[in-house]
Structure 1
Amino acid sequence: MIDAALLPLQRRLLEPLARAIAARGISADHLTLAGFGIGLLAIPSLAFGSYGVALTLIALNRLFDGLDGAVARLASPTDRGAFLDIALDFAFYALVPLGFALADPAQNALPAAVLIAAFVGTGSSFLAFAVIAGQRGLRPEAYPTKGIYYLGGLTEGAETIGLFVAMCLFPDLFPVLALIFAAACAITTLTRWWQGWQAFAQPPA
C-alpha cells in the first residue's frame, strides 16, 4: 500500500552504496543471490528461537533486495534479474512463517499455514496480472522502474516486512499477527482479482 511512496526515498538512500558496489564489479544478480542466501539463514534462526538474529538476517535480506535494483539501474536491468528478484522474494516471504512454525508447531503451525496460503493468493494474483499486462505492453505508472508490471494492494512489500519485524519482536503474538495479516492478504487478493477482471475484460487493441 505504501511501496510507491517509499521507493523514491529508498533509491536516494541506497544510491551512494550502490555506486560503490557497482564500482567493485559486483552485479545486481550477485546481490540478489547473496541476499536470498542470507534470508535463508533466518529460517533456522527462527526455528531455534533466535529472534534477534533472525530479525538482523531479515533486515539484511531486505537491504540486499533494495541494493540489487539500485545496482541494476546503474548498469542495464535485465529480464533475468527481474525474474530472480521476484521469484526469490516470494520464496523468502513464504519461508519466514515456516520458521515460526518450526519454532513452536503446537502454537504456530496452523496460523503459519493460513498465512502462507494467503501469500499464495497475493503472489499468484500479482504474477498472473503481470503476465497478461506484459503481453499487452502495459506499464505501471506508480512503479515505472520495476522489471515487471507491479500491481499494488493493501499488503505489499513494506507491510510484509513490517509484519516480520513485529513477529520477531513479539514472537508470542505470532498467531494473532499471522491471522490478521492473512485477512489483509485476502482483501488484497480479492481486489487484484477484481482489477484483473476489469482490466482484461476486452481483447488487446
Structure 2
Amino acid sequence: MIDAAIRQYIDPPLNSVGAKIAAVGVSANMVTVVGFLLGMAAIPFIVSENYLIALIFILLNRLFDGLDGAVARQTILSDYGGYLDIVCDFIFYSGIVFAFAWASPENTLVAAFLIFSFMGTASTFLAYAAMAAKHNISTDIRGIKSLYYLGGLAEGAETIAVFVLFCILPEYFSIIALVFAVMCWITTATRIYAAYVTFKE
C-alpha cells in the first residue's frame, strides 16, 4: 500500500550504497543470495523464541533486498535477477510464518491460514506480471524493476511491519496474523479485479 510512496525516501541512500557495492565487483545476485541466507537465519532464532535476534536477521534481509536492486541498477537489470529476487522473497515470507508455527503449536492453524493467504497475493502478483509482459505494460512507480509490480493493500512494507510486530509482540501473533491475512485477501481480490479490467477481451 505504501511501497510506492516511500520509494523517494529509500531509493537515494540505497542507490548510493549500491553503487559502492557494484564498484567492488559484487553482483546483484550475490546480494540477493546473501540476503536470503540472512533471512533464513532468523528461523532458528524464532523457533528458540529469541525474537529480537530474529528481528535483526529479518531487517538485514530486507536491507539486502533493497540493495540487490540498487546494485542491479548500477550494472544491468537481468530477467534472472528479477526472478531470483522474487522467489527468495516469497520463500522468506513463508519461512518466517512457518517458524512462528514451529515455535508455538498454538500458532499452527493461524500460521497455516496466513501462508494460505500468501498464495493469493503471490499468485495474483506473478500472474499479473506475466500478463503485463505479454501486453507490453510497464510501470516505474515502485522503481525500475525487472517485472511489473502490481500494488495492493498488503505489499512489502506492510509485510515487514507485520514481521516486526510478530517479533516484538509474539504473544499477539494470532491476532496480528489474522488481520494481515484479511489484508492479503483484500489485496488478492483487488488484483483479480485489476486483471479483469486490464486484460479482459
Question: TM-score scaled by structure 1?
Answer: 0.96
Between the aligned partners of 2:30 and 2:7, the Cα distance in structure 1 is 21
Q: 4+ residue stretches of structure 1 with deviation over 6 A?
A: none
Calculate percent identity across the aligned residue pairs: 47
Q: How many residues align?
A: 201
Corresponding residue number in structure 2 for 1:14? 14
Corresponding residue number in structure 2 for 1:91? 91
Alpha-carbon RMSD across the aligned residues, in angstroms, is 0.9
Q: Does the 8 Å contact 2:27/2:71 carry over to 1?
A: yes
Corresponding residue number in structure 1 for 2:198? 199
Q: What are the within-5 Å matches in structure 2 for residues 161-200 of structure 1?
A: 161-200=160-199
Q: What are the within-5 Å matches in structure 2 for residues 40-51 of structure 1?
A: 40-51=40-51
Between the aligned partners of 1:60 and 1:18, the Cα distance in structure 2 is 15
Corresponding residue number in structure 2 for 1:57? 57
Deviation per CA, 1:104-123, whole angstroms, max 9, x where unpaired?
Answer: 01x21011001000111000
CA shift, 1:146, in A, is 1.3
CA shift, 1:83, in A, is 0.4
Q: Does the 8 Å contact 1:42/1:57 carry over to 2?
A: yes
In structure 2, stretches of 5+ residues that fail to align are none
Q: What are the within-5 Å matches in structure 2 for residues 144-159 of structure 1?
A: 144-159=143-158
Between the aligned partners of 1:149 and 1:16, the Cα distance in structure 2 is 24
Counterpart code for 1:149: Y
CA shift, 1:159, in A, is 0.3
Where 2:18 maps in the other structure, the secondary structure is helix
Q: Does the 8 Å contact 1:19/1:71 carry over to 2?
A: yes
Between the aligned partners of 1:2 and 1:8, the Cα distance in structure 2 is 11
Counterpart code for 1:53: I
Q: What are the within-5 Å matches in structure 2 for residues 51-130 of structure 1?
A: 51-105=51-105, 107-130=106-129
